[in-house]
Every structure is written in structure tokens, then in C-alpha cells.
Structure 1
């Protein structure tokens, strides 16, 4: 493509038709790469997507002396942590500004080096993701934390010790922090109210392959018995269920048909049920799932997001675009991120009818209900979408804007598409392959 690589012209109104492939989950692969730091031998990770978060973590690992090379098959990385070393503060800051992943380096670096440095963190602006959870957890393991002008400096004067932790909310990031820290800590760590997303289970599988002892109970309690050393791992990352769902919603909103190679039914059960209720069709096959609009009107639904096994918050934004084409009033109650419905303002400018509310419009009150956040939405449809000037706000909201532009009549200018590269591998190549009419501005 030529022209402005960060602005995409989208000529809408054409159904997406064809096949694409999703690789390993964005919410697992970078964390599995960090886990390699804990090992005494090289690790081999397969099904790695070529996305920005992977490149950020690769750069940070290399700064700390980890050798990272591509393997013999496509999407394979070999990570050798034999010579872990301290990294320059300025170099860390330069690599980490656009990602929140660096905070997960804390536990492994404290075990390997006795100290760690964490710069200011970036990420999607969709509501609070307090890193204080992470630092509170690390203090409970015995780390000391000093706030400096350039970031946080952590030390482990002695070997970190296992502890009992109860999370106020099943935070994915904090659960990952505990896992990556507890596996080499002395004694037993008990984590209550843990996140149990499929990507968390896959990270537990990675750590178990390295020699960790981890049990996951049915009441969201994870117990980790610390060991003295870990080895390497060989692992194939589970597929990205969030990307797969995004393409499914794109097929629905544009009245098209998309075969998503690599999509897995097991991790998408809740999404698939909702997709069917809305009126979407799908067929599970050996190598993936085909999603399509079967014709006729889509149906309005009531929807609440929740932690796994509920309806994932990252599925909500792409689906809302499709719900603008459903007949009747759909109700969406966002309970995971308080500001995730802000993206609907741009959809309204395109002709959608979406009203936001501070009240909990779901079956159960949530933690945002008394805090004055616009976290519920009523979507009235169907409404024809018209092309617009769009500025991408965050990763999932950005892909949702892309879906809206593809479904709309006319040509939209979508600004900030580089942000979509954080989690959608080669999407600029996939779009033309599905018949989308897009070009750099």
C-alpha cells in the first residue's frame, strides 16, 4: 500500500466473503514468551501471530539477554534465557511505552536477577486497569518497590515467599502476575477469586510443562506449590477466540460469509450461543468455523458481559455493530470495563441509534452501577449506516469501527489503524482477500 499507512479508506457496502486464518491468542502468546524467562533451558512456542504485542515482548526479552529466533515452521519462536541480564532503563522505556505486558516481567526478573524496573505503562483506554493490584501482590511475595521519576524499581532482598491472596475482582492480569511469580517462590501460594479464562488455563499448561505444580479448583482458586527450578517448554498456543469472534461479527454486519481457519468451538461456546440467538449462522468444521448471515432480519437480544465463562467483554464491541442491524431494542450491560461503550458515539454519527445509561440494565447489578459510569446501552435497529470520518479509540473498538465502515454505505476514512496491529495479524492483507474494498489514504 502507498499513501498514509495509518489512515485507511474503506469503501463500504460489500459483503465479506472468503477465508482467513487466526493464529495463537494475543492474550496468551506474549505471556508465554515472558514465562520462558523463568526456565533454565530454551523454550519453543508455536502458532505465534505476527502482531505488535509479540514484537514488543520480543524486544524486551532481547534487552534482558534472552535469545529469540524464529523456528523451522511458520509462527514458531525459540527462546533461550541462558544469559538473562539487566537492561538499560531508557531502552526498556523505549520498547514498553505502548504495552502493559512489561509489568508481567516483574516476578521472573526478581527470581532471575533479584531486581526489576517497570516504566510507565500504555495500553487501550477503556477504563481503569489499576497496576496497584500487581504491586500489592508482589509486596505480598516479599518484593520491595521504590517509586522513581522514570518508573518503579523492584527488589527481592531474599527469595520470594508463597502467600494467600484474594482478588477483589477476577483480574486476568493480576492472575497472570501471581502465576509467573508463585511458581519459583518458596512454599505454597493460594489465589482466590482468580481469573479462569482459557488463556489463563493455557498459561498454566505452559508453566506445568516447565515443571511447575499448579492446581485449579472449581471455585476459582488456584494453588501453586513453588519449586526450586524450571526447565523449558514446547507449546502450541491456543487460537485467538477474540479475533475469531471479530471476523464472525464482520460477516454478520456485512451480510457475508467468512471461514475462520483455526477458530476453536470449545473456547467460543458462549459467543456461539449468542451469535445464534442474534440470527447468525455457523458451522464447526475440522479446521475452523464458518460464520455467515443466513438472510432475513437479525434479532435484538439482551446481553451482559462477564468474566469467563460469561460473554467476554472483547466480544461486545464487534457484536454491537451487528446489533445496529437487528430488529428491535437490544440491551447491552458492560460489567468488565466501565468505559468500553464510549465507542458507540461514532456509530451514532454513522446513523446508529444507541443510547447509553449509567444504570445497570442487566439481570444483576455490577460494580459500576453506583459510580456514574455510562456502562449500559440500548441499541435500536435496524438502521442503515453511512460512511464517516472515524478515529480508532482502542484495539477492539478500532476493529469494530472497521466493521461499521465495511457495512456502511459510502467511503469512510479510518484513522489510527496501526492500533489494530496490536491484536489482529495481517488484517490489512486479510481484508482484500475477503473482497473488502480498502486502500491507504
Structure 2
């Protein structure tokens, strides 16, 4: 199993290209099941999760080709579509559940295994189930599989979500495009990935209003066509690389970055003493002066502070001047990186959903273990600022969400390398 070795103390200078969004691409790919015409995605990220979704779609009968070194994904579901998503593939990734809505909409029935992914809490499927049931589906859980049927097809309805779940919004949005009548999703998620999905579906002929707000209205259509669509910039990769020069010094330009994707995050960086400058090509990031300031962070659905940047922000605040408080409101069990940061000399106390971080002058390198995707990169970031060497073990999580992280950071001066496992 591979590890990442980081030698701390080097300032970063240069530019880092930001990839297309993993979470957007994983949502857009199942949309191919809604049409018999080709769907082509540009600016796709080259990640193991994309390969997993490719395998899942191919197992359902879709044709999926990776072109231009993985930057383009060409898909077609012209032939017969299978309606059973097997455990062996679905267990690898949470986003696999996003085939449920499209399969129900197209075929009127589906059998989908309960999903897997990072161990960061229950992330229950009940919101998805209740939403699809509102559209007329009958769903039963048997032997770890969701057995779903829609006799006579899905029907438009009012769908109030008890929580602004991104995945449930996406599943419902795709299902509703082919439902009979009008669907109104209330308390919908507002993330940029939702807006990107709605834009792609609209190119395919869907009638959607309100994406990016808490109320999305979908007028069902008889069929959808094909489209070519560029995947939106990955705001989580963007935020992660914005933190790199903030943690260890220097100045980095994140190519393709946009403040509107991370308004709350950028506000917290400004409060901490980090300069963010918009350029013609993206965002330029550097410390304003010396040691950064402590800040308090509370995760929230978009446009709030992203839960997927909480671990990385904690790494930054480990060496801040003063005491910071981070409150996690989205997922339980998402402070598993804290004990590993403490191995590096961080002063952190966790009580339930709140972590208190008292900044220290200097972190020290140590062998640490990654527990999930975002924790992996938070430990790498901490290693950039630490004295000595940090060896991050179990980085198979990392490859699910960051393409060639050692190459991107190495290109701006980080002393980082991948160590092949036995």
C-alpha cells in the first residue's frame, strides 16, 4: 500500500491547475442512463472514483470511453440497460447510489446495493428513499439491496427534503426529469455541483428552474437527448491547494479558481490573515504577513463552510496564533484526523461535534495514518509545515479525490514523493 513522504519547511511558489470536480463528475456520469443519445463530459478529473463509476455504468450496459488521457468521458446508453447495481462495485463508493433515480426514471424499476465510501458517519439513504417514494416509487430494503419499483412510471410531486442533502437532491432531480408532471424539490441542496448537473440536464432537454436555490422545479419531459458538457471546477481541490501556501508560506496561483465557489471559505482565510487575489486565470494565494490568526469554523451546507474542507482547515489552524474552534454539523466521526495531527505535535481536544485547536509554534514530522479522503490530504498539508519528515500511510483514500497530488505540489516547490507499497 503506497505512502506519501513529505519533507517540511519549503515555501511554495508557482501555479497549480485545478481539475474538474470529482463530486460533479460522479453526479453527471449517471445522467447517461436517462438517454439513449451520447453524453460527453469535458474537463473530467482522473481519479479512482471515476474509474469505479465507469465500472458501475458499464456493468449496467452503458458504453463508457476515457479519451484525451482521461480528460474526456464519452458515454452512451443506447442498448438495453440492466437494472441491478451489484454490491461488489457499489460498496466502493458512496456516489454509486446516484444510479437509483435514473434507473427508476428510465426503466421503472431498479435493484441497487447500499453504498460504501469513506467511514465518516451513517449518511443514511432514507432521504433518497422518501424523495423517490414521493414521486410514486415503492422501495423495500432486502438483503442489503434497495428494491425499487414505479408502477406506471414516476409522477411529479412536491418533495420536501428534511435535510438539504446533496445526493438526495441529485437523485430526485435526475428522476424527476422523466416523471409525468411537475416536481418541486423543497429544501434542495444549493451546491455548485447541483447547478452543474441542472445545466447538463437542461442541455439534454430537461426543463428545470431554480437550481442553486432551495426550491427546484422540474417539468417532466418524455425523453432526453445527448449533450457535451464541461465539468465545473473542483472547489474542494481548489480550497485544499489554496491552503498549501497559507500553511507553509509562499505564493501560489490556483488556475481555474473562482471565489464564488468558496465564498465562506475565502472569508475565513481572510480572517486568518491569508491574501486572496483574483487574476485572469484564477486565484493567487499568500499569507498577508507572519503567523496566521486563529478563527472559528462551523461547517454548513453550501454556501456555508464546506465539510470537505474542515480537515484541511484544521491542519492550517494547528499553528495559528491563539485558539480555534471547529464545529462539524454535517457528518459525525469526521474528526478522525485529529489524533494523527496530535502525533505531529498539534494541541487538539475533541468533544462530540466540536474540536478545540490551540495553535503551536511548530509541528514536527511523524508517521501518520490516513483515515479518509480529506484526512489524507490534511496530513500532507500539515507535513508541509512540519519540521522534519512526515510519512502519510494508507493513502489509497487520497487517489479517490486528488489526481497526482505529489506532482502538483512538487511543481510549486514542495518536497514530496510517493513511496510504493510492498
Please list the CA deviations of residues 264-311 of structure 1 after superposition, one character each: whole Å capped at 9, or x if unmatched. 222122222211110112221112112122431211112222111111
Mapping of residues 5-84 of structure 1, within 5 Å: 5-71=1-67, 75-84=71-80
Q: TM-score, normalised by structure 2?
A: 0.94
Q: Contact 1:255 / 1:295 at 8 angstroms: preserved in 2?
A: no
SS at match of 1:235: strand
Segments of 5+ residues of structure 2 without an aligned counterpart are: none
Q: Contact 2:308 / 2:374 at 8 angstroms: preserved in 1?
A: yes
Separation in 2, partners of 1:86, 1:50: 26
Give 1:217 shift: 7.5
Please list the CA deviations of residues 61-115 of structure 1 after superposition, one character each: whole Å capped at 9, or x if unmatched. 11222112234686112211111421676xx333222101221101211233332
Partner of residue 345 from structure 1, selected from 339, 342, 360: 339
Runs of 4+ residues over 3 Å off in structure 1: 70-74
Q: Contact 2:189 / 2:213 at 8 angstroms: preserved in 1?
A: no
1:203 aligns with 2:181: no
Q: Contact 1:353 / 1:383 at 8 angstroms: preserved in 2?
A: no
Please name the residue that 1:243 is paired with: 237
Separation in 1, partners of 2:170, 2:377: 26
Give 1:150 shift: 5.2
1:98 aligns with 2:92: yes
Q: Contact 1:195 / 1:220 at 8 angstroms: preserved in 2?
A: yes
Partner of residue 207 from structure 2, selected from 195, 207, 213: 213
Q: 1:129 to 1:325 in 2, by over 3 A?
A: same
Separation in 1, partners of 2:212, 2:392: 44
Separation in 1, partners of 2:270, 2:16: 21
Separation in 1, partners of 2:343, 2:406: 25
Give 1:8 shift: 2.2
Separation in 2, partners of 1:11, 1:72: 33
Give 1:18 shift: 2.7
Give 1:207 shift: 1.0
Separation in 1, partners of 2:342, 2:278: 34
Please list the CA deviations of residues 107-158 of structure 1 after superposition, one character each: whole Å capped at 9, or x if unmatched. 2112333322212311122223101221222222222334333522322332
Q: 1:378 to 1:231 in 2, by over 3 A?
A: same
1:378 aligns with 2:356: yes
Q: TM-score, normalised by structure 1?
A: 0.90
Q: 1:190 to 1:436 in 2, by over 3 A?
A: same
1:286 aligns with 2:280: yes
Computed over aligned residues only, the root mean square deviation of the Cα atoms, in angstroms, reads 1.9
Please name the residue that 1:354 is paired with: 348
Mapping of residues 364-375 of structure 1, within 5 Å: 374-375=352-353
Q: Contact 2:312 / 2:375 at 8 angstroms: preserved in 1?
A: yes
Q: 1:218 to 1:100 in 2, by over 3 A?
A: closer
Please name the residue that 2:384 is paired with: 406
Q: 1:276 to 1:386 in 2, by over 3 A?
A: same
Please name the residue that 1:162 is paired with: 156
